[in-house]
């Protein structure tokens, strides 16, 4: 009996599965006797997105300023890796490879949304955009 088999039998008797590398070696040597079982291969779960909150205190603009800090949700996603930042009160959104980039794009989006809504004098704003404009109007002022 080889040393590898002795070690394997110890693993099996102890209820611990043999390391994957050892199984692969056995499989390579005796494929008809040691088929590699998928059930003992570790399943590496997809990394779940991680979420946290942060605040922004400006809109990266010389024209507009924030009257108060905004609470922002920042989510780190995988596969592909990306950071997304949302200010859900007005459904504004920014994304990027880094948190700084995502927050900068979010600030741009908030400015764009505010400018677009405040310049719309057609009377065609629906229920949600009207609410967003009201919220942004209290949060943003011109410098």
Partner 1 sequence: MKWSNFSYNDAQKIIKKLDLKRTPANSHDEVYWYYLDGKRELRIILPNNHAGTLSPGFIGNIKKNLKLETRQFERLVDCHLSADGFAAHVRDLLAD
Interface with partner 1, residue 93, by CB under 8 A? yes
Interface with partner 1, residue 133, by CB under 8 A? no
Task: Please identify, among the stretches 16-24, 26-34, 54-62, 85-93, the one whose residues bind partner 1 according to the rule CB under 8 A.
Answer: 85-93
Structural contact between residues 113 and 90, judged by C-beta atoms closer than 8 angstroms = yes
Taking the complex as a whole, the smallest distance from the CB of residue 75 to partner 1 amounts, in Å, to: 5
Strands 140-142 and 70-77: unpaired
Residues in the chain: 143
Q: Measured on CA atoms in the order 103, 107, 108, 114, is the torsion positive or negative?
A: positive
Interface with partner 1, residue 142, by CB under 8 A? no
Q: Which of residues 20-79 bind partner 1 (CB under 8 A)?
A: 49, 75, 77-79
Residue 72 three-state SS: strand
Interface with partner 1, residue 98, by CB under 8 A? no
Taking the complex as a whole, the smallest distance from the CB of residue 1 to partner 1 amounts, in Å, to: 49
- Tokens representing 64 are 């507009």
Residue with Cβ nearer partner 1 (18 or 132): 132
Instruction: State the Cα–Cα distance between residues 62 and 58, nearest whole angstrom.
Output: 10
Tell me how far the alpha carbon of residue 114 is from its chain's centroid: 26
Using CB under 8 A as the criterion, which residues of the chain lie in contact with partner 1 when the complex forms? 49, 75, 77-84, 86, 91, 93-95, 105, 108-109, 112-113, 116, 120, 124-129
């Amino acid at each position: 009996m080889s040393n590898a088999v002795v070690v394997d039998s110890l693993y099996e008797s102890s209820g611990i599965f043999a390391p994957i590398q050892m199984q692969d070696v056995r499989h390579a040597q005796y494929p008809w006797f040691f088929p590699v079982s998928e059930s003992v291969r570790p399943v590496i779960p997809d990394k779940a997105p991680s979420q946290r909150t942060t605040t922004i205190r400006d809109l990266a603009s010389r024209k507009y300023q924030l009257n108060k800090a905004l609470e922002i949700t920042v989510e780190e996603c995988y596969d592909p890796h990306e950071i997304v930042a949302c200010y859900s009160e007005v459904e504004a959104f920014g994304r990027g490879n880094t948190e700084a980039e995502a927050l900068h794009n979010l600030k741009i989006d908030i400015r764009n949304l505010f400018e677009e809504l405040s310049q719309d004098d057609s009377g065609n704003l629906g229920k949600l955009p009207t609410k967003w404009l009201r919220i942004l109007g209290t949060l943003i002022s011109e410098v």
